[in-house]
Structure 1
Amino acid sequence: MMMCGGLNEPKAADPKIQAICEKVKPHVEQKAGKSFDVFTAKMYREQVVAGTNFFIKVHVGGEDHIHICVFKKLSCNPGEDLQLSGIQESKSHSDPIEYF
């Protein structure tokens, strides 16, 4: 059971998480200043706030990974439902997903 405000345990990415990654990929590339040929969600953690923060480990080619934070609004709030909150570059497969 997830505690409101806390991060849940890491889970393997599923098609829902990959779909979130695909939607925010252009924003990630703009923020990183580069394009990614590979953009595969591997693991994620969730934080329930006034919506949900998704902290996602994304494989971007070779041994390289990035961590992205995506905020998903509650469905009752108007506007775009997904917002890229931040990215962390130069991550490895073994780096833990932490709050940022």
Structure 2
Amino acid sequence: MLVGGTSEAKPATPDIQELADLVKPQIEQKENKSYPTFKAVEYKTQVVAGTNYFIKVDVGQGEYMHLRVLQPLPHLKEQPSLSDYQTGKKESDPLNYF
């Protein structure tokens, strides 16, 4: 991994699913739709002033979404937040920085 770059993609863990679930309501509000399926598939990390998590999420019917979630440094005592997301992704789309 390059300094400031993202890690290699890894299979999603229960902790990553928890992060995705935490920001799901924000995405549903922005997209004005609900996602009955919202399963984290894989993720990458990037160390910044905290950690950026890039998460590929299966939203059902062959569609995927990429999320960027910022986990602030622990001493700030702040919740993770949705920084950005991309819709209209496919399973084969690589999870890249955005």
Runs (4 or more) in structure 1 with deviation over 6 Å come to: none
TM-score by length of 2: 0.94
The number of equivalent residue pairs is 98
Query: Structure 2: any 5+ residue segments left out of the alignment?
Result: none
**Equivalent residue, structure 1, for 2:57:** 58
Q: Deviations over 1:9-35 (max 9, x none)?
A: 000001010011111110111122211
AA aligned to 1:32 is E
1:38–1:75 CA distance, 2 compared to 1 (3 A): same
List runs of 5+ in structure 1 lacking aligned partners. Answer: none
How many percent identity over aligned positions? 47
Tell me, in whole angstroms, the C-alpha distance in 1 between the residues paired with 2:86 and 2:95.
10
Whether the 8 Å CA contact 1:41–1:57 is kept in 2: the answer is yes
Q: Which residue of 1 aligns with 2:86?
A: 88
